[in-house]
Chain A
Amino acid sequence: MTDAATPEAGPAIASASQTAGPYWHLVDFPEWADTTRHFKDALPPGERIVLTGRVTDGSGSPVTDAMVEIWHADPKGEYPDPEGPANEFQGYGRCATDSNGNFRFVTLKPGPVPASGHSRVNALQAPHVALAVFARGLLSHLCTRLYFEGEALNETDPVLQAVEPARRGTLIARQSEPGTWNLDLRLQGEGETVWMAV
C-alpha cells in the first residue's frame, strides 16, 4: 500500500447505498439508545428527555426490524467541535425497534441551532433531532426531523416551514408525559411522514 499525500485519488462518485437487511449486528448495543450513558454525575446542563415512537409500514403494520438513529445539537444548540475533546456530549443514538415497532431514546433536549448554514436557511433553527431509519426493504436510509410541539421557533424554522402545512404534524413530537416526547414514523400511506432528501 502506498500512503501518498492527499488528495491523491482524484474525483470519484459516492458509493451506492444498499439495504441493511434483516440480520444485523449494528443493533447489538442497546445502550447506544442513551446518549447520556458516558456521563454519570457529570452530565452537561440541560433537560434530560425521552424520545419514543413507533415505526409502521404501508399496511399499518409495525416495522419490527428497523434501526433508528438520532443526531442533534446539545442543549446550547451546539454540535461537537470536530477537533475538540472526544469526551464531549454527542447527541447521537441508535435504537432497534422492538416487536411492536417501538423505539426509545434517552437524551438531552437540543437547543436552537444558530444561523450557520446554507444561505437559504440563514435563520435560527428550532430545536430539532435528525432521524435516520434503516431496515430491510430500505435500499437507502430514510431521513426526517423531529420537532418539539409548542416551540415558538417552530413558526420560523426554515426546514419545518418548507413542509406543506397539512403534513407538518408528521414531524412534531408531542409530550405523552412530562419529559417524554413521542413521534410515530409512517414509512408509507395515510399520514406518511415527510421524508427528506438530505
Chain B
Amino acid sequence: MSEIITGYRRPAPEHQPPYNAPDYGSTRLRHPKQPLLQVPHTLTETSSPRFSPERYPQTADLTVLEGAKGHAMGERIIVGGRILDEDGRPIRNAMVEVWQANAAGRYNHEGDQHDAPLDPNFHGSGRVFTDENGWYRYVTIKPGAYPWRNHHNAWRPNHIHYSLFGAGFAQRLITQMYFPGDPLLALDPIFNTVPDEAARNRLISKFDLELTQPEWALGYRFDVVLRGRDATPMEDDHHD
C-alpha cells in the first residue's frame, strides 16, 4: 500500500440535492443548519465493507416469495444495468439492495397505512450482486404510485429504491430509480430537489428491448454511477 492514496472527487452542488429543500417538508427539521465540515479522505473513507452472496444471500426474483405458492400481482418487469464509477470503470461484486411498493402502491411495511391492498406474495425487497463487468439484473413487478402528505394531492411517481456500496465508504449511495414517461415526475418535490435537469433525468430508467424477454416481461435499463477517484496520480500505481 502506498503512503499517499487518492480520495474521491467532490460532487458539484447542482448534481446532488441539498439537505434543505423547503418543498420537501420532511427536510425542515432534519437538515443541518451549520455548514458541513469538509474532511479529507483517509483510509476510513477509501475502504469499504465487502459483501459476499455467501453471507448476504441474493434475492434476484422479487415476484416469488420463499415458501409462497403464488406470484406477485402486477406487471412483471426485468430491471438491469451497470454500476460504474465516474471514470466508466465497473464496480465489480457490488451489493445492490432494492426495495419498493407493490403494484397497488403499498409497501409491506407497518408504517404504510395507505388504503391499497397488500399482496401476500410480494414483500418488495431484493438483493443482487454485480458481475465482473458491473452488470446486475433482477425481476420484479412495476411499483404503483402512492399518495403522501407532503402537500395537497401529493403522489409519489413510480420508483424503486436503490442502496449501493462501492470500494470506498465515501462512495456509499442511496437513490431512487424512476420510470420513463411518468407524469408525476414533474410534480414530485423529491425528484426535483436535484437542481440539474440532466442529473435528475439520469435517475429515470430507460425501456430496453434487449432486456425485454419475449412473451414474458418488459425490460428497463438503469445504470448507477458512483464517485470516481481524484485525478491525483497514485504513488504506487501498480494497484490501479
Contact = CB atoms under 8 A, between A and B. Distances in A.
A9 B133 CA distance: 11
A139 B175 CA distance: 9
Interface size class on chain A is 35 or more
B53 to A, nearest CB: 10
A174 interface: no
A137 B24 contact: yes
The A interface, classified by DSSP as helix, strand, loop or mixed, is loop
B43 interface: yes
A72 B37 CA distance: 19
A137 B190 CA distance: 9
B151 interface: no
A10 B88 contact: yes
A113 B1 CA distance: 14
B16 A17 contact: yes
Interface in A117-136: 117-122, 125, 128, 130, 132, 134-136
Contacts of B223: 9
B99 A16 contact: no
B111 A196 contact: no
A72 B52 CA distance: 19
A163 B37 contact: yes
Interface of A: 1, 3-4, 6-26, 28, 38, 57-59, 61, 63, 65, 69, 71-73, 79-80, 82, 86, 90-92, 113-122, 125, 128, 130, 132, 134-142, 145, 158-159, 162-163, 167, 187-189, 192-198
